Amino acid sequence: MRFIISLCIFYLSACTAVFSQQVYTFSDKDTLRVGELFEYSIVIDNPGATRTAASPDTSFFSSVFELRDVRVFKPAPNRDSLAITIQFFGTADTSLSYMPIRYSADSDSALLRTGTFPIVYRPTAEDADESEFRPLKPIFEFALNWWPWIILALLVLVAGFLLYRYLKNRPKPVGKPVPTPVKIPPFVNPIENLENRLISIKSDSELYNRDPKGFYMSLGDALRAYFEELYTIPALESTTRDLGRELVAQMVDSHLTQIVIGILREADMVKFAKYIPWPDEAEKSLAAGFLFLERAKTMDRHKVVKMQHDYNRKYFPEDNKTEPNNPHTSQENIQV
């Protein structure tokens, strides 16, 4: 009997120590979405214990909760703390039911239970009524905006006006003036001209018999024209004396000077003294004219070549085919 009384006293004292323990539960979130993690903390105070240990029994979790991690802390000798990481998969409001916790203090052990912890479900939509489809709204007719079209039309008008002013005021291209064709005078070869004049006088066999004065005038003018063309001497307007002085001044060949002065003196006698030479004298004068021609071909050849070279350089500067030193260059060779 005494043993039974002692056992009851020991049991009551142990229960008193256990019942004096307190359990607190906390959570960092009270509103959860599907798949969201939250921390669930359990704190156990044991004032009389010097060494405690606690472990939760997670088999009491419902299917909407899944345990991810459990960490046990002992912040003080008489306090235990459990940090449990849980993932929520519910779609409605629910609660964490009581959780058995096996607790041991020194040589004693006990089974503690937590209270229920409410969990509020927060749907992804802000309003639960949004899950239902609303009726379609009628198509809204927007008022036609005319401002962009008006601005575009004004821009087109301004661009057209600027283009018109530009085309009207731009400088007109000046056309190239049509070059006036220049008539190139033929090259005058004084020796050839003299020869043609002498041949013309000789071919008219009746000229002397018909007009002795005209015969000597034609012969004298042929020689004067030669010096005027080749030496640029005003021989046709000069007297015989003036012409002789000019020929000496320009250093004309002495034989040419003697021949021409002799012929011109006979012509002056016929013209002014009414002298009529014999026919054989007229033939000698004509022969002297041909002698003058042959002498001029030799002595004045270089002057004719220079004269022709100056002509080619003036009228045909791009023509390199004509040889300036060729005294026999004909008129056809210098034409373009």
Inside any domain, residue 238: yes
256 occurs within a structural domain: yes
Question: What CA–CA distance (Å, rounded) separates 42 from 25?
Answer: 5
Is 134 within the bounds of a domain? Answer: no
d(Cα 56, Cα 84) in Å, to the nearest integer? Answer: 9
Q: How confident is the model at residue 306 (pLDDT cuts 50, 70, 90)?
A: very high
What secondary structure letter does DSSP report for 186? Answer: P
Enclosing domain of residue 288: 190-334
* Residue 2 belongs to a domain: no
Of 75, 99, 123, which residue sits at a domain end? 123
Q: Are strands 94-96 and 117-121 parallel, antiparallel or unpaired?
A: antiparallel
| Domain C-terminal end among 65, 96, 123 | 123
* Residues 208 and 297 placed together within one structural domain of the fold: yes
Beta-ladder partners of 79: 45, 76
Provide the total of helices (H) and of strands (E) in the chain, helices listed first: 9, 10
Give the integer Cα–Cα distance in Å for 105 and 172: 115
pLDDT, average across residues 223-250 = 92
pLDDT digits (tens, 9 = 90+) for 320-334: 554 544 444 444 343
Residue 31 sits in a domain of what CATH number? 2.60.40.3670
- Asked if residues 96 and 67 have their Cβ atoms less than 8 Å apart, the reply is no
Question: Same domain for 320 and 203?
Answer: yes
135 pLDDT above the threshold of 50: yes
User: What is the pTM for the complete model shown?
Assistant: 0.45
Name the token pair of 5: 């009384």
d(CA 299, CA 293): 10
- Residue 234 sits in the same domain as residue 316: yes
The residue count for the chain? 336
Query: How many Å apart are CA 10 and CA 7, to the nearest integer?
Result: 5
140 located within any domain = no
In-domain check, residue 62: yes
Q: pLDDT, tens digit, for every residue of 143-176?
A: 667 888 889 999 999 999 999 888 888 887 777 7
Per the structure, the count of domains in the chain is 2
**Whether residue 330 sits in one domain with residue 201:** yes
Cβ atoms of residues 80 and 53 within 8 Å:
yes
Place of tokens 């089974």: 111
Ordered DSSP codes for 3-20: HHHHHHHHHHHHHHHHHT
Q: Which of 123, 138, 169 is the last residue before a domain boundary?
A: 123
Say yes or no to pLDDT of 6 above 60.
no
Asked if the structure places residue 270 within a domain, the reply is yes
Task: Say if 101 falls within a structural domain.
Answer: yes
The pLDDT confidence band at residue 14, using thresholds 50, 70 and 90, is very low
Q: How confident is the model at residue 115 (pLDDT cuts 50, 70, 90)?
A: confident
Are 195 and 291 members of one domain?
yes
Q: Please name the residues in contact with 328: beta carbons below 8 A apart, sequence gap of 6 or more.
A: none
Exposure pattern of 97-109 as b/e (b: 16+ CB <10 Å)?
eebebebebeeee
Each residue of 32-82: pLDDT tens digit? 788 788 888 888 777 555 445 556 666 667 778 787 888 887 777 777 777
